[in-house]
């Protein structure tokens, strides 16, 4: 089943902002018996979040007067229309509690599933680039494969396997699993693990070679006519607002997974817009053809991530759901794909100093980490369907399932056992 991501941006009634923030705090506090339970029952939502922006604590240096807005971001299985319908129908009470503070929401005495759905769909904004760490894996499949792996692990641990060959152990595991009616779906539902699309990689390489003169000209124009005049971010973490940092940290490290929400403004000019659009286009092709096996530029901790441009391409949002701590996550990004981050965010205002579009920037680690915190937003509510699974676990469990149903040689059976 295909995974998708949808971003919904709704204007908030200005005088109701604090009421909305208080409501989201309450929803978060009671989420295990409220909306998280409802999302769990839908079995199609991987991640979801609500974020209030432009209410005084988004992009600290932004002096422009803006009207408050509410972001609803959902990563899910299937098609957008079906997902919005299910959420509108099954989480109607929570939606009404939230969107009653938003402009033009249907009156509560007349609101219906259809009118909720229409309201949300009318406020969808387009994604610029989307990464999925386990493409093709639905919420149900991920949950099933976790149960399968746990069952196998318990069976293996229940006895000793001294002097038993790996292929015999594999055969015994398979027999034990298939004797259990809970796993009868294994015979009927065949799955495969995603592979690199080498044909697509070749075509992409040819296109990049053909575009190389244009790319070089673009990079030189950016460097000599823009980067030298840019206002750069030069603050360190110790120079940031302590109260704001404390607010951010309150919403982190509750589980093995974490979330990150970021909002930045675009630099003016057509050249900057061309540059960031090109980087998003390149990212989408790389994600489609190469980054299909649980690693984004060598980073093995990201479940879902995406960029969104809005307000006539003048602002950029970034969302991520990842494993581990904030510091480790951004450190991995710097080590493995600093050029990619720099190529995108160097086109946004007050970024650490860059050269030739993709150097400097994120590689100035101390400034980059402070910039990331400075432009981060408080995520007011966050949901994850499988909080105890890393993206490595998710992909590993699929490999266990695929290899279990095969007849393996001694060498491959030994590799299979290492997956457990």
pLDDT means per 10 residues in the chain (420 residues)? 96 96 91 79 95 74 81 97 96 94 96 97 97 95 96 93 90 93 90 91 96 96 94 90 84 85 95 97 95 88 96 96 89 86 95 95 93 93 94 95 92 91
Contacts of 40 (CB under 8 A, 6+ apart): 385
The tokens describing 116, both together, are 């909720």
For the entire predicted model, the pTM comes to: 0.94
Confidence (pLDDT) at 162: 86
Using alpha carbons, select from 66, 113, 76 the residue that is nearest to residue 93: 113
* 70 secondary structure, DSSP code: E
Rg (CA), the chain: 23
> From the centroid of its chain, how far is CA 237?
25
The pLDDT score that the predictor gives to residue 210 is 97
What is the SS3 assignment for 367? helix
Rounded to a whole number of angstroms, the distance between the first and last alpha carbons of the chain is: 25
Where do we find the tokens 């705090």? 25
Contact predicate 311/11, CB 8 Å: no
Helix (H) or strand (E) holding 366: helix 365-374
Are the beta carbons of 260 and 376 closer than 8 angstroms? Answer: yes
CB 391 within 8 A of CB 303: yes
Nearest to 37 by CA among 100, 113, 84, 90: 90
Per-residue pLDDT, 85: 97
- CA dihedral for 77, 82, 84, 88, sign (positive or negative): negative
Handedness of CA 126, 330, 52, 135 (dihedral sign): positive
Backbone angles phi, psi at 7, to 5 degrees: -120, 125
User: Which pLDDT score is estimated for 62?
Assistant: 62
Cβ 330 vs Cβ 301: under 8 Å: no
> Are 7 and 308 a contacting pair, CB within 8 Å?
yes
Give CA–CA dist 117/349, Å, rounded.
35
Strand pairing report for 257-265 and 315-323: antiparallel
122 three-class SS: coil
Nearest CA-CA partner of 250 in 342, 127, 376: 376
Distance from C-alpha of 282 to C-alpha of 286, rounded to nearest angstrom: 6
What residue has token string 């055969």? 171
pLDDT of the residue at 34: 65
pLDDT at position 163: 85
d(CA 303, CA 132): 6
């Amino acid at each position: 089943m295909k995974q998708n991501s949808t971003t919904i941006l709704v204007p908030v009634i200005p005088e109701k902002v604090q009421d909305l923030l208080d409501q989201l705090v309450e929803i978060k506090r009671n989420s295990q018996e409220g909306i998280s339970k409802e999302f769990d029952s839908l079995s199609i939502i991987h991640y979801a979040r609500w974020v209030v922006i432009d209410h005084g604590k988004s992009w600290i240096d932004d002096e422009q007067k803006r009207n408050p807005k509410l972001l609803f971001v959902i990563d899910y299985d299937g098609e957008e229309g079906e997902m919005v319908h299910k959420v509108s129908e099954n989480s109607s009470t929570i939606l009404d509690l939230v969107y009653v503070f938003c402009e033009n929401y249907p009156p509560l005495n007349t609101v219906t599933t259809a009118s909720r759905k229409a309201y949300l769909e009318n406020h969808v904004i387009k994604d610029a680039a989307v990464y999925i760490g386990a493409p093709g894996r639905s919420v149900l499949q991920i949950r099933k494969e976790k149960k399968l792996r746990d069952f196998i692990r318990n069976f293996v641990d229940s006895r000793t396997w001294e002097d038993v060959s790996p292929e015999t152990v594999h055969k015994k595991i398979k027999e034990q699993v298939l004797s259990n009616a809970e796993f009868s779906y294994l015979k009927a539902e065949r799955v495969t693990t995603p592979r690199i699309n080498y044909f697509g990689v070749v075509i992409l390489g040819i296109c990049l070679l053909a575009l190389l003169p244009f790319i070089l000209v673009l990079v030189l124009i950016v460097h000599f006519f823009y980067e030298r005049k840019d206002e750069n971010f030069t603050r360190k973490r110790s120079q940031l607002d302590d109260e704001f940092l404390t607010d951010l940290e309150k919403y982190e490290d509750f589980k093995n997974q974490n979330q990150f929400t970021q909002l930045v403004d675009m630099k003016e000019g057509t050249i900057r817009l061309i540059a960031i659009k090109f980087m998003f286009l390149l990212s989408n092709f790389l994600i489609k053809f190469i980054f299909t096996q649980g690693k984004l530029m060598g980073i093995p901790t990201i479940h879902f991530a995406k960029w969104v441009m809005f307000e006539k391409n003048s602002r950029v949002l970034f969302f991520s759901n990842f494993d581990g701590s904030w510091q480790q996550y951004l450190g991995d990004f710097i080590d493995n794909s600093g050029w990619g981050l720099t190529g995108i965010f160097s086109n946004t205002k007050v970024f650490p100093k860059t050269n030739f579009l993709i150097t400097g920037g994120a590689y100035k680690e101390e400034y980059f980490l402070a910039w990331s915190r400075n432009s981060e937003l408080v995520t007011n509510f966050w949901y994850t369907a499988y909080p105890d699974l890393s993206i490595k676990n998710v992909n590993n469990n699929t490999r266990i399932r695929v290899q279990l149903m095969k007849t393996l040689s001694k060498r491959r059976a030994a590799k299979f056992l290492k997956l457990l």
